[in-house]
Amino acid sequence: MRLLSFVLSITILLLSCNKEENKVLSGDWVFIKSTSLKNIQQQSQKMIPPPFPNIYDRLGFSILDNDSCIFKLGFITFKKDTINNELINIYLGNKTNYKVEKNNIGFYDIIKKKWIYSKIISLKNDTLILENYDSVYTYYIRKPKTNYDLSKIDKIIVSSSGCYGSCPISKTLISSDGKVEFYGFRFNTKQGIYEANISSVEYNEILNNFMKANILELKDRYIANHTDDESITITFMKKDSIVKSIIDYGKEAPSELIQAYTPIRYLYQKLNLRERQLTK
pLDDT category of residue 74 using cuts at 50, 70 and 90: confident
183-191: average pLDDT:
93
* pLDDT above 50 for 63: yes
Of the given ranges (125-139, 141-155, 162-176), which has the lowest mean pLDDT? 125-139
Q: What is the pLDDT of residues 123-139, one digit of tens each?
A: 888 999 988 776 788 88
Q: Delimit the CATH 3.30.1560 region(s) of the chain.
A: 150-275
The answer to whether residues 243 and 236 touch, using CB atoms and an 8 Å cutoff, is yes
Q: Does residue 167 carry a pLDDT above 80?
A: yes
Q: What digits encode the pLDDT tens for the residues 207-227? A: 999 999 999 999 999 999 999
Q: Which helix (H) or strand (E) holds 61?
A: strand 61-63
Residues of the chain with CATH 2.40.128.280: 2-143
Q: Does residue 270 register a pLDDT over 50? A: yes
Q: Does domain 2-143 match CATH 2.40.128.280?
A: yes
Residue 228 is predicted with a pLDDT of: 92
Coil, strand or helix at 88: strand
Query: What is the DSSP annotation of 175-235?
Result: ETTSEEEEEEEESSSS-EEEEEE--HHHHHHHHHHHHHTTGGGS-SEEE-SSSS--EEEEE
pTM assigned to the model: 0.79
pLDDT above 90 covers a percentage of the chain that reads 44
Degrees (nearest 5) of the Cα angle 43, 251, 95?
105
From residue 96, how far is each of 42, 148, 195, 248 by CA, in Å? 37, 26, 29, 26
Least confident of 4-18, 26-40, 93-107, 154-168: 4-18
pLDDT, residue 203, reads 96
How high is the pLDDT of residue 172? 98
- CATH class for domain 150-275? alpha beta
